[in-house]
Amino acid sequence: MFIVNVEGAIYCEEKWLIIKRSNKEEHAGGTLSLVGGKVDIEENTLDTLERTVRREIFEEVGIEIKENIHFLYSSSFVSDSGLNVINVVFLCEYGKGTAHSKSPDEVEEVYWLTYEEVLAHSNTPPWTKESIKRAEDQRKVITA
């Protein structure tokens, strides 16, 4: 069995919303990341992944995203504690609200960074760089 995790690559004009994960986090504490979290067990529902990414974004950083979100890609990994995880990344456009850490145990800092700043930052792990590269490519197609 897998844990299913979702992440939102959130853009506003030419910047990306990036968080610094709390050092208390079990996986990748202290690194830069997209906003996201685990899918809750639900009854029979529709748009489970999409609703989860919206919920996680609001719970962690207090903003809403626009209605249209776009699937970017999925991957799998083994967490630091040995759990198998499926990770699904969506491209999201900022809607409203002021981004801030609503959950200090999960999010230490919130940043709006350019594509280049995310890639150049010393705390950006390879998987976050991969997500931002794919998100930037897709953003250019959508906003062209």
CA distance 66 to 55: 13
DSSP 58: H
**So what's the pLDDT on residue 23?**
66
pLDDT in tens, 110-137: 999 999 999 999 999 999 999 999 999 9
CA distance 118 to 14: 12
Domain range annotation of the chain: 3-143
CB atoms within 10 A of CB 43: 4
| Tokens at 11, concatenated | 């853009």
**Mean pLDDT score, 36-58:** 91
Among residues of the chain, what percentage have pLDDT more than 90? 80
CA distance 127 to 82: 18
pTM of the model: 0.93
Average pLDDT over the chain, rounded to whole? 93
CATH class of the domain at 3-143: alpha beta
pLDDT in tens, 79-113: 878 899 999 999 999 999 999 999 888 899 999 99
